Amino acid sequence: MSGVKLVILGVPVHYWDIPGAALEAIRDLPAFNQAYGFAFSTFGKCVCNRVPYDLATELRKKGATVIGGAQIVMPNSTPINDGTMIGDIETSYGKGEVTQVNLKKIKKAFTSIASRIERDTIKEFDIRILKRLHTRNILGFVASSVITTKKRIDSMPPVSYKADLCQHCKRCIKSCDYQVIHFSAENKVCIKKENCMRCYACINACKFNSLYSDWEKIRSSTDFVHKLSKNTETKILYV
């Protein structure tokens, strides 16, 4: 892609990884030869991940010169009931993020990077340094090697449906990147739960609370994962 000087590539963390739909879109992007690249992830504190490093690797494959990366804490978007996310009510899951302090850090980093690009004084970044952003401790690292993405997804509560609240607006269908939702002949929402990625975009899209998940069923295990995690704060690394 000619004329592009800086590519900033970021995604939310989805079960420790780059979301599948986002990864497909990234790999369909044109080459960024002669451009600089910066990779970042957003996450809700409790999820172990190595996404900034993986994104930086994708940028390099596209020909970009990687100059830094970041992990940015956001409120955890897992819905618990009637439009409420766990990140709305619990500090340990990102309530109050992004803070003004972190916003200033991010703005300062991007301003510095842009200035150095204009002055042609910036250098390539060793993307291996981004591994310092990992929120996995040794136990989390071992678990990530054994537990497949499918098992992680299946451990989360499925999306359930309240037919009496549904207004057949089809927002849920439009919000699903994985095409696992459709209306039956009886005009009821049907979800292919075996193919659902538990991203909960459909729950967030529904304005009538007809879709929900039973967060309490897995809350104790998620709290356990959170306690084992480290480096769960916003961090920015660049040359």
In a domain, 38, yes or no: yes
Give yes or no: residues 127 and 192 share one domain.
no
Give yes or no: residues 177 and 105 share one domain.
no
User: How many structural domains comprise the chain?
Assistant: 2
Give yes or no: residues 184 and 82 share one domain.
no
In a domain, 217, yes or no: no
Which residue pairs from 56-59 have beta carbons closer than 8 angstroms and sit at least 24 positions apart in sequence? 56/125, 56/127, 56/130, 57/127, 58/9, 58/18, 58/23, 58/26, 58/27, 59/7, 59/9, 59/32
Query: Token pair for residue 154?
Result: 């299946």
Report pTM.
0.79
Report which DSSP code applies to 70.
E
The pLDDT value recorded for residue 47 is 62
The pLDDT value recorded for residue 135 is 59
Give yes or no: residues 37 and 104 share one domain.
yes
In a domain, 106, yes or no: yes
Range of 199's domain?
160-212
Strand partners, 11: 41
Is the pLDDT assigned to residue 181 strictly greater than 70? yes
- Residue 81, classed as helix, strand or coil, is strand
Give yes or no: residues 19 and 76 share one domain.
yes
Give yes or no: residues 233 and 208 share one domain.
no
Give yes or no: residues 19 and 100 share one domain.
yes
Is the pLDDT assigned to residue 138 strictly greater than 90? no
In a domain, 155, yes or no: no
In a domain, 154, yes or no: no
Give yes or no: residues 30 and 71 share one domain.
yes
Query: Where is average pLDDT lowest: 76-85, 140-149, 199-208?
Result: 140-149
Give yes or no: residues 127 and 62 share one domain.
yes
Strand partners, 212: 160
Q: What percent of the chain has pLDDT over 90?
A: 43
In a domain, 152, yes or no: no
Is the pLDDT assigned to residue 3 strictly greater than 90? no
CA–CA separation, 64 vs 9, rounded Å?
11
In a domain, 150, yes or no: no
In a domain, 220, yes or no: no
Give yes or no: residues 77 and 30 share one domain.
yes
Strand partners, 156: none
CATH value at residue 205: 3.30.70.20
The pLDDT value recorded for residue 1 is 59
